[in-house]
Amino acid sequence: MNNPVVTENQKAHIEAPVFVKSTKKPRDYQQISIYKDVNPLDWEDWHWQLKHRIRSREELAHIIQLTLEEEKGIEKAKGRLSMAITPYWAALMDQEDPNCPIRRQAVPVSAESIIAPHEMVDPCAEDRDSPAHHLVHRYPDRVLLLATEHCAMYCRHCTRRRLVGDHEEPQINSASRFDAAIEYIKGNKKIRDVLISGGDPFVLEDEELEDLIQKVRSISHVEFLRLGTRVPVTLPQRITEKMVTMLKKYSPIWISIHFNHPKEITKRCKIACDMLVEAGLPLGSQTVLLKGINDRPYIMRRLMHELLQIRVRPYYIYQCDPVRGTQHFRTPVAVGINIIEKLRGHTSGYGVPTYVIDGPGGGGKIPIGPNYILSQAKGKYVLRNYKGKIYTYLE
């Protein structure tokens, strides 16, 4: 394989990829033998990362000590949401601990085959609210444009598991596959906000992504353009100078990044986020509340603090949607409310996201939080603060 061409700036940021934390010796690291001979320049090539994703039990067994539940899960994870883990992400997983938060998000387990009675294929009713192919229109002034069905890594809690996966997308008239969606947006002047998501739009080649952005930007009444991605977390090598330069041309573009745990904020992830921020691209975070991963207030607080340190503004915490096969990830709603209770007033306001439930059946995002209004009468509100002290506000 020819070595990829990288800039001097990129060379300065190449990070050794092949170490993961050992549970037996907390400050030691164990080398993953499968990657020990990888050329660092190859490691920094996002195409190499995608080509060498872990797809089978045999490959993964060279990296972690698989449990019986994981082996069963991998065997059953066929079809749409099959297993795909970037080498970068695999190198962050604990080799021995199946409860590792990095590992649990990526490795299938047998619990995925258990379908709870209330779980749905399409819990957010996106297919119902799709007026054109690739487009979801639920809120009056904004739409969701699904750019691709592919991701760098397939998270096991994925809401769009009915769509997302490593399979062949139809390539017939691929250059015009978004035409119906673009024409719909052009024809509805109430639409001022477009979110391009997927899958993950950042797995598209620069030219393909730019073509789509350009088409949206050419619509005069679209004021606000957002990109939803997890790539800076699962494949930070994808954030290249070429890509960032392209995105900057269409500024303002806001980027929402899916972060779930502090361990995801590595040196390499920070470099990717720095490149985006320094190009004038505002970053926000979206976090899914996941049982046993980030459902403790101290973990969520640490995540929010570390996000602020890398200039990512905490935006949403989502209750895990009731999508089929994800019951083992969901917490009671009270857990999320308690997390907000432990954040509000106890840390910077910038570090307090909005906790939402996406109303099952297409209700949209509904904010949920602690109740700070104890009573109200004409011209009078009785309130409590974060310490539980009572105050009266007279209008």
Copy the structure tokens of residue 94: 């604990």
- Tell me the two tokens of residue 251: 């500024």
Q: What angle do CA 159, 173, 189 make, to 5 degrees?
A: 65
For 168-184, give one letter per residue: b (16+ CB within 10 A) or e: eeeeeeeeebbeebbeb
* Cα 180 from Cα 130, distance rounded (Å): 11
Among all residues, which ones are annotated catalytic? 138-139, 142, 151, 155, 158, 160, 321, 358, 365
User: Shortest CA distance to 199 belongs to which of 84, 367, 120?
Assistant: 84
Roughly how many angstroms between the first and final C-alpha of the chain, as a whole number?
72
Tell which residue, 204, 214, 206, has the closest CA to residue 244: 206
How far is Cα 304 from Cα 301, in angstroms, rounded to an integer? 5
Maximum distance among all alpha carbons in the chain? Answer: 75
Place of tokens 């980030």: 294
Residue 4 contacts residue 44 (beta carbons within 8 Å): yes
Determine the angle formed by the axes of helices 241-249 and 267-278, rounding to 10 degrees.
Answer: 30
How buried is residue 200: exposed, middle or buried, by Cβ count under 10 Å (0-12/13-18/19+)?
buried
Burial class (CB in 10 A: 0-12, 13-18, 19+), 278: exposed
Q: Which residues pair with 286 in a beta bridge?
A: 258, 316
The pair of structure tokens assigned to 205 is: 């080649």
